[in-house]
Amino acid sequence: MGKPYSADLRERVQAAIESGQSRRAAAEHYAVSASFAIKLADRVSRTGSVAAARQGRPPGGGKLAPYLTALLEWVEADPDITMPELAAKLEAEKAVSAHPASLSRVLLKAGLSFKKNTAGQRGRARGRAAST
């Protein structure tokens, strides 16, 4: 995904368009594409702002978002559960098919992580107290 042009450049291109230059002439003068100048002028007419739109998907969505609490409960109940086992449990109990890598990404976003200790063994899940 590309970076948006700076607000300064956007303002200068829009000022050139508002001063009477054509959109294509303003684009050529500032060495940007004609498409950018056309879309910028359209955005200003719709929103009144030269600010770049947010890029990417909106946060918080996704297929697994409604099942996050259940996933966290299952991991808390069995910290040594593997991602394929977690995927199978989700399929069996909630009738939702998810790839183990997707489950891993959701759990990482929720603050859980897979840790190994110096012996190469799995560490405890986040927030778990040591058993005696």
Q: What pLDDT score was predicted for residue 73?
A: 94
| Residue 124, both tokens | 């405890």
Residue 2 has pLDDT above 90, yes or no: no
Burial 17-27 (b: 16+ CB within 10 A, else e): beeebebeebb
Residue 79 has pLDDT above 80, yes or no: yes
| 27-77 confidence digits (pLDDT tens) | 999 999 999 999 999 999 999 999 998 888 777 778 999 999 999 999 999
* Across 3-11, average pLDDT: 95
**How many other C-beta atoms can be found within 10 angstroms of the C-beta atom of residue 41?**
18
